[in-house]
Structure 1
Amino acid sequence: MGSGSDTNGWNRARGLAVKTLLLIGGALLIKRLRKSTTRWDHAHFVAKSLAGEKYSKDQASRDPDNYFNIRMLTCPAAELVDGSKVLYFEQAFWRSPQKPFRQRFFMVKPCPKELKCDVELSTYAIRDMEEYKNFCDRPRDQRPQPEEVIGDIAEHLTTVHLKRCPRGKRCLYEGSTPPGGFPNSWNGATYCTSELSIMKNNEIHTWDRGYDDDGNQVWGQKEGPYEFKPAPTSSFNDMFSPLNFLPPPSMERRIEGSFVLQE
């Protein structure tokens, strides 16, 4: 009899302990879910998502006539006194990562309160691009230091306003330049537009286009955005893929028009 009573008592105590833990866990989960995400939380998440090494190899494999295997590399470069993150960004052909054809600074911060968006991503030119080639690949003590980076931020080029994606979409954040885009004079354009999506699988989709006074597209991809996926753990097996060789010189101008927002 005594043994059975002890067992029942132990079972009741164990059950009570489990219920207590479940109640505590539930309360903590509710508290976490109710905690509002701050404006800076959004900005920091976008900055972190942009950082890293990404490639358009898969897209180039599917559609080699319209897309190339491009390496996109982004990393933190400085932080402003207001908390804005400054990232260094470059793009290069896979086979020549040491020769980027596009170099920019990104500035990431919360959207102004009067705008209906979450994150403001602005693109700036660099005063001396040669000084920053392969910035992310270099040891920290061999890079321009944060105070130098801030001094080397040149003219403003574009701004994209990002919003959180609705539940059920593949993206986490997406946005574009304001209506009318930004001035751009490359290859007969008078203005340019940019679209950006940060996907749930850590991909980055970008679409830059230039238009003339009549609204005709004069540079940039027409089929859709470039899709950059995180770098694989090893790309050795892909080293000799035809997609990884530089295009002939005659194609370089067309490619630049697809990527470079010329000042």
Structure 2
Amino acid sequence: MGSGSGSDSNGWNRARGLAVKTLLLIGGALLVKRLRKSTTRWDHAHFVSKSLTGQKYSQDQASRDPDNYFNIRLLTCPAAELVDGSKVLYFEQAFWRSPQKPFRQRFFLVKPCPKELKCDVELSAYAIRDMEEYKNFCDRPRDQRPQPEEVIGDIAEHLTTVHLKRCPRGKRCLYEGSTPPGGFPNSWNGASYCSSEISIMKNNEIHTWDRGYDDDGNQVWGQKEGPYEFKPAPTSSFNDMFSPLNFPPPPSTERRIEGSFVLQE
């Protein structure tokens, strides 16, 4: 009787061990299959949409170089989806101290690059028909925002398009890109055309660099020192209410931060 019980126990242990090995083999095969699965064009577009979404600030950069950069809040959130799967994001920028008064508002359209282009994601900026109606869109409850069908109807003229490519291994960025050669027409502050660059970084930062040029190729607006660096804000940022960096500059200096990718009057 005792011998039979031991035999049953050994048999059960062997069966259990075999089951565990089988599960491990199946799990390993599924993992390898998943790792080998190529990233689709839409995977790239969805990742870029997710990376752009949320609140990011240029506070660190403004602290390092207050003469050339301001503490700005960049806020982006999903607004609608087109029938082809393209994402429409609402975007606004405001000075940190007055987030309820955005000085830039745009729609972003995110979709895969056309197959004939050597890029992964196409990111386009569009004007909004009634910007006042969309102020603080992302901060409002969903039932108090314009609904997706209204959003689609309020997409106005096309402003710029940036073509993003996945960054090579070893670089700090995940995706980077720029407007096509020659940029896009722009008449603000004496410009005849503008260019935009954007990088999505591995540490969840977004770097943007917008510049305007006249007919002779001279830069007439935009940062000369380098791109704006927007980072997810640490908690301490919200406690520093009286930092001079959080006060908007006088109107004469605001001209320095205007950018083609998000603003084209």
Same fold by TM-score, threshold 0.5 exceeded?
yes
Q: Deviations over 1:136-177 (max 9, x none)?
A: 111111111111111111110000001111112111111110
* Separation in 1, partners of 2:179, 2:257: 22
Q: Secondary structure at the match of 1:257?
A: coil
Please name the residue that 1:4 is paired with.
6
* Separation in 2, partners of 1:72, 1:236: 15
Q: Which stretch shows the higher mean deviation, 184-193 or 249-258?
A: 249-258
CA distance 1:246–1:30, change in 2 (3 Å) = same
CA distance 1:170–1:11, change in 2 (3 Å) = farther
CA distance 1:259–1:61, change in 2 (3 Å) = farther
* Separation in 1, partners of 2:88, 2:52: 11
Q: Deviations over 1:67-119 (max 9, x none)?
A: 11000000111111111111110000001111111110000011111111111
Give the conservation status (yes or no) of the 8 Å contact 2:125–2:262. no
Q: How far is 1:18 from its partner?
A: 5.4
Q: 2:227 aligns with which of 202, 225, 228?
A: 225
Q: How far is 1:28 from its partner?
A: 1.6
Q: Secondary structure at the match of 2:248?
A: coil
* Separation in 2, partners of 1:52, 1:131: 20
Give the conservation status (yes or no) of the 8 Å contact 2:196–2:261. no
Q: Secondary structure at the match of 1:178?
A: coil
1:97 maps to 2:95 = no
5+ unaligned residues in a row in structure 1: which ranges? none
CA distance 1:256–1:94, change in 2 (3 Å) = same
Give the conservation status (yes or no) of the 8 Å contact 1:186–1:261. no
Number of equivalenced pairs: 262
Give the conservation status (yes or no) of the 8 Å contact 1:219–1:258. no
Q: How far is 1:5 from its partner?
A: 9.0
CA distance 1:258–1:40, change in 2 (3 Å) = closer
Q: How far is 1:197 from its partner?
A: 0.7
Q: How far is 1:260 from its partner?
A: 5.6
Q: How far is 1:240 from its partner?
A: 1.6
* Separation in 2, partners of 1:149, 1:177: 25
Q: 2:170 aligns with which of 143, 168, 172?
A: 168
Give the conservation status (yes or no) of the 8 Å contact 1:70–1:93. yes
* Separation in 2, partners of 1:140, 1:104: 18
* Separation in 2, partners of 1:73, 1:57: 14
Percent identity between the aligned chains?
95
5+ unaligned residues in a row in structure 2: which ranges? none
Q: Secondary structure at the match of 1:238?
A: coil
CA distance 1:3–1:107, change in 2 (3 Å) = same
* Separation in 2, partners of 1:61, 1:187: 27
Q: Which stretch shows the higher mean deviation, 20-29 or 167-176?
A: 20-29
* Separation in 1, partners of 2:230, 2:71: 9
* Separation in 1, partners of 2:217, 2:164: 24
Give the conservation status (yes or no) of the 8 Å contact 2:73–2:94. yes
Give the conservation status (yes or no) of the 8 Å contact 2:160–2:260. no
Give the conservation status (yes or no) of the 8 Å contact 2:162–2:179. yes
* Separation in 2, partners of 1:104, 1:236: 25
Q: How far is 1:252 from its partner?
A: 2.3
Q: 1:40 aligns with which of 39, 42, 60?
A: 42
Q: Which stretch shows the higher mean deviation, 196-205 or 237-246?
A: 237-246
* Separation in 1, partners of 2:202, 2:262: 26
CA RMSD of aligned residues (A): 2.2
Give the conservation status (yes or no) of the 8 Å contact 2:192–2:212. yes
Q: Deviations over 1:29-69 (max 9, x none)?
A: 21001112211111111111111011011111111111110
Q: How far is 1:8 from its partner?
A: 8.3
Give the conservation status (yes or no) of the 8 Å contact 2:127–2:157. yes
Extract structure 1 runs of 4+ deviating beyond 2 A.
2-26, 231-237, 252-263
Q: How far is 1:253 from its partner?
A: 2.6
TM-score (norm 2): 0.90
* Separation in 2, partners of 1:6, 1:170: 58
TM-score (norm 1): 0.91
Q: How far is 1:241 from its partner?
A: 1.6
Q: How far is 1:20 from its partner?
A: 3.8
CA distance 1:165–1:259, change in 2 (3 Å) = closer
Give the conservation status (yes or no) of the 8 Å contact 2:196–2:260. no
